[in-house]
Each structure stands twice: as C-alpha cells, then as structure tokens.
Chain A
Amino acid sequence: MRNSLKWSGLVVLVALTLSVLLAAQQQTTPTPPPQQPSEIQLVISGEPGTPPRYAVPDFVALSPDVADVAKLLGQVLWDDLNFEREFYMIPRDTYSTIPVARTGDDIPFAAWRELGADAVVFGTVQKTDPNTVRVQVRLFNVRSRQSVFAKEYTGSAANPRLYAHTMSDEIHQQQRALRGVARTKLTFSSDRNRERVAGPVQNRDVKEVYIADYDGENVRRVTTNRQLNITPTWAPDARGIAYTSYRRGYPDIFIALIYQGLQETPTNGVGQNWLPMFSPDGTRICFTSNRDGNPELYVMNRDGSNVRRVTNNPAIDTTPTWSPNGAQIAFTSDRAGTPQIYIVGADGLNLRRITTNESWADRPTWSPAPFNEIAYAGRTGPGFDIKVYDLASGETRQITFGEGSNESPAYSPNGRHIAFSSTRSRGTQVYTMARDGKNVKQITRDGNNATPSWSN
C-alpha cells in the first residue's frame, strides 16, 4: 500500500521534446490560451467558440505483458481529462476506423482530423523489470502535427492508474493553467466490512475510515478498531487524516498518519471531542468538545497545545470549517432557535449569522480560493439539499434538488467540485458533482458511506 500510494513523489521527468523546450523559451506566460496561432503553439485550441476536442486511444504495449495496462491508461486518462470539462472528449468507442499508430512517427493525423480531433494523445507502456513499468506519453496538436507535451514516467507497476492521473494533472496544468484533481483522494466513513460493534448493545454496525482515489477506485481501509470511526478529514499535506473515533467508548479525536502507520491523539484525554477540522495551513485544529459542559468550538495546535475556546453559548455550536486564510470559522448553531450558519473569527470575535431564509441550515464547508462561498446542507422538505452561499453577493444557490437527502459537502482543492453524501440510491453513498451541481457521479457502492473529505 505504502509504495503504490507514495510513488508519485518519485515520478521522474526524463524527457521533454525539443518542440516543447523551444516553445517554452518563446512563451513567457503559458496562459491564457493565445488567440493568434504562432509558429510553435503550446496550447491547443478548438474551433472558435468551442472547447478543443481531445482523443485518447489505448496506449501501445511495447512488451507483451502490459496489454491490459495499455488499455487502462487510455481509459483512465480519458476519464481524468473529461472530469474538469475543459475539453470535449471524443468518445473512445468512435476510434475504431482509425489506424493504430505503433510509434509517434506514424500517427494518422488526417484520420484524427477527419474525426474532428484537435488534440490526440500517443502513449506507450513497457515493463522494464517484473515490478517496474516505463510509461511515455505525448500530446499532439492534430492540425500542426507537433508534439506540445511529452513526458516519461518510470516506477512501480502496482498502480498504473496513477500514471494516467499524473498525466492528466500535468496536461491540465500546461494546457489550461488549471490545478487538476486526478491525483487527489477522498476519505469517508463506511460500514462496508459489515462487522458489529463489540459491547452490551447488539446489532450496531462498525464504521471504519477509508480512502479512495478521487474517482472511487483504489479503496483502502485506514482504521481497524471495530468501533465507530466517523467524520474523517484530511490534513492539508494529504498525509494525515483526523477523525472521530469511539474506540474508548466515547468520541475523541485521532489523527492517522497514513503513510507512516502512526496515530496521534492530540486532545490528551480532556473531555469528549469530535469533528476535527484542520486549519488550511495545517498548524491548528478546530473541533467540538463538551469539556466545559456544553458543545462548544475550540481551537488547538495540531499537537494539542494551546487550546482556546471559540464559542460560548448554552445552545449547540458545532461543525466548524475554516476560511481559506485561517482567520475565520463558519459553524452551525441553534442559538436562534433553529440550526443556522454563523461566521466567527478564529479568536472568537466578530460573530455574524449568514443564513436567514432557511428553516434548518447545517454543516457548512468553506470553499478554497479563488471561490468565496460556503456550501451547506439546507432543509428542503423531509431531507437536506446542498446549497451554496456566495459571501461576496450574499446570494444563495441550490445545487441538489430533492433526490434523496444530501449532506456533508466537501470541496475539491481546486474548488470546482463538491463531494457529498446522499440517500438517492441504495443506502447512503458518496457522490461528486461540479460546483454548479452538474455531472453527478456516484463514488461508493459497497455498504453505506458518508461524510467525505477531499484531499489536497
């Protein structure tokens, strides 16, 4: 597990084509896409007014035992590039009439042009030893027939999807100056292993913390204590997960360092504590505690030192989320009679209420910059829908519409997507959608899965 998850840091960039080097020298700013075609153009454009049309055929297997990997790389890269909706991705089942290129020198550009492609990927994969693969990829401008992007990756053969995810992020970065999310992960709580909590009360399902790639693949279990382990949230370094665990019989905060197999318990046994939330710089944790007799918000340093109380009200104050600069905290309180969303300074000052037209507004999550909005669960009938409050305009927009109950919104690090849990199909499952509510995609199917958090 450790190797396959970790190798991305070892990805070696071996080669850049001459054309990319020349282009890089000529272009001072790769963004925005130039409107006038220059002699060597790095960014591939579509027809005027339309997004560029991309084709991603299967990779070419250069050794016989990687035929499946070659197909997988093409499919995963297509899916990854499709996710951000920056390109029109030409469906892969329409490529059958196009001759298969064996090398980068015999790409049938005319046939791709006929299919309407503006950009085509050519990739190869081969095993260099039983545990190692070498993957090469180039992105061609179909019109100019020039390679605008070329990379080679060598590493573990255990998780080939990660090569496709890496290419996708690099292509989004180069072509659209966009931080892709193909290498990010989701963490969530699940009862999928169908164990029962040990103890005097029967028939209670264990919930454990899991992680998965952003597309739901590559699921790994993080906790194994056969108790309730819920509300996991990523540390900003994407190497730690803070969560609420009942392993001691009551809720307390634990941090799993997933690549080291270590665990931290920052609250030092004071009271009952739940719902940890890392500050954006990772140095502090905001959480809910009953240590003073009533659910209130507190902030501590990541190591548990310097605990400061943020709220002080006999009502419920809980479900904190940090502003991107770490100066403010949005949370839920029923101090006005019903649960509503409030914002307070991390120092406990300057409290204000932001939801005014909701019968029940709950569990906010603050978007990353450059977006300036707070997503939350708003009551819309028997269940919740996800709504988004724009801090600049004060306007609210609804992005789910009564398909099941929809809760626990969590932004992707680029702010363009939201993971959430919904009861719209069997049980409770994790989904992702674009921040406008479109492109809903079911991520989990096994057991019940809830309270997602999206890694950097």
Chain B
Amino acid sequence: MKRATIVLMLLLAFTAACAKKKPATVASGPPPAATAPAPAPAATPPPPPPRPAERVEDSVPVPAISEDTIGNRSLEDLNRDSPFKPAFFDLDSSDLDDAGRAIVSANADIMKRYPTWVVTVEGHCDERGTAEYNLALGEKRAVAVKTYLVALGVSPDRLRTVSYGKEFPFDTGHTESAWSKNRRAHFVITSK
C-alpha cells in the first residue's frame, strides 16, 4: 500500500514535470492549465493563455503531442485545451512581432501535422478601442495571422478569419496585464 502510494506520487511528479515543460519555454504569464494533466475538469476557464512577455527563441519546438491524445478528442475538448497558442499584439497594432511570428509558426507546424483541420483565426482586442472600432482592428489582426500562415505554407482553404472586437475578452480586468492578454489572435479548430 505504502509502496503503491510512492509509485503513484513519482508518476504524478513525472507527468506534471513533463506537462509543465513545454508551456514554460513559450511564455511566462498566467499559469499554464493546472498541474494535473488528467481529464480536464468540466468548468475550466476558456483556452487562450500565456502572454509572451519576453521575446522567444526563433525556433519554438513544436509541442510534443501524441497523435493518440489529439486525434480522438472532440472539437470542444481540443479547443478547451488547445494545442494552439494565441499570438499577441501591441495597442492598436495588427503587426506580428518576433514573438508573435514564432507562435504563429509553431501553430503552422501543428496545422501541417493535422492536415484535415480547418482553423478559424479570431481577432480580438482590448477595451481601449471602442466596441465599434475594434471590429476592424480585430479583423486586421486575424488577416495578418492568416497571411503569415499562408506564407508558411498553410493552405488558405483551411483558414477562416473573424473579428470579435472586444466582445469576448480573455481577461475581463481593467489593467495592462488584462489588456495585453486580450489583444490576441485566437486559433479555433472548426473542423477536423
């Protein structure tokens, strides 16, 4: 009994370390998805997470996701705990900086690995533009990401774009920390 507990703890510690490893290379920011990798609790908050505060190395390793875990998951599950990371933008900007390009490039690699997936790139904004203006700003962000994905070899037939302006903030706070998380291009898998 005691031994079984120790083995279990070791196992947990190991999986937790593995699970933590990847997000840590990509970003510092909001805690990446919880420590236990197991079945996601029903009421976890929505997906997009880490804000790449500092610049990221040019070659971000593709997250090591095994076909088994991904291929069998429903769209809802995939999008709740998405293999895609959001790309972030500066205020009133739709330009992808180095960090943003690295993230989009990693997302492009995932799309190439799952060639049947169709992805909608959603452009989102912080609350510092008006609701109306941000519809156009989000549109430019989504299109900027799509353009870069296509340049990286992803077929435009697999890409949709949509702007939600500031209608769906990731963080409803009123600080720069919240705003920086909300200025994002969010990847949603719409069919697979």
Contact = CB atoms under 8 A, between A and B. Distances in A.
Interface of A: 200-204, 207, 228, 230-231, 244, 246, 249-251, 272, 274-275, 288, 290, 293-295, 316-319, 332, 334, 338-339, 360, 362-363, 377, 379, 382-384, 405, 407-408, 421, 450-451
Contact of A334 (B75, B92, B143, B160): B92
Given A249-B162, A288-B136, A295-B139, A201 B188 contact: yes
12 contacts: A200-B188, A200-B190, A202-B46, A228-B164, A230-B131, A246-B162, A288-B136, A290-B143, A319-B132, A332-B130, A363-B130, A407-B131
Given A249-B162, A360-B128, A201 B46 contact: yes
B92 A339 contact: yes
Nearest to B77: A200
B25 to A, nearest CB: 26
Interface in B145-190: 160, 162-164, 167-168, 174, 188-190
A254 B18 CA distance: 49
Q: Which of A201, A203, A288 has the most CB of B within 10 A?
A: A201
Q: Which of A204, A249, A275, A318 has the most CB of B within 10 A?
A: A318
Given A200-B76, A407-B130, A274 B135 contact: yes
Range of interface residues on B (Cβ < 8 Å) = 20 to 34
Contact of A318 (B45, B78, B132): B132
A333 B161 CA distance: 21
B136 A318 contact: yes
B132 A231 contact: yes
Given A200-B188, A202-B80, A207-B167, A275 B140 contact: no
A288 B46 contact: no
Contact of A382 (B128, B140, B143, B167): B128
Nearest to A318: B136
Interface in B88-137: 92, 120, 127-133, 135-137
Interface in B55-75: 75
B79 interface: yes
A376 to B, nearest CB: 9
A40 B157 CA distance: 78
Contacts of A204: 168
A316 B164 CA distance: 15
Contact of B135 (A201, A251, A334): A251
Contact of A316 (B79, B80, B136): B136
A130 B120 CA distance: 56
Leading 5 A-B pairs by shortest Cβ distance: A295-B136, A318-B136, A363-B130, A362-B130, A316-B136
Given A295-B140, A316-B140, A338-B92, A379 B135 contact: no
Given A201-B46, A339-B92, A363 B135 contact: no
Nearest to B175: A382
A226 B34 CA distance: 31
B127 A405 contact: yes
B142 to A, nearest CB: 9
Contacts of A334: 92
Contact of A379 (B79, B128, B167): B128
A204 B45 CA distance: 11
Contacts of A360: 92, 128-129
Contacts of B131: 230-231, 363, 407-408, 421, 450-451
A200 B160 CA distance: 14
Given A272-B162, A316-B136, A201 B79 contact: yes
Given A200-B75, A200-B76, A363 B132 contact: yes
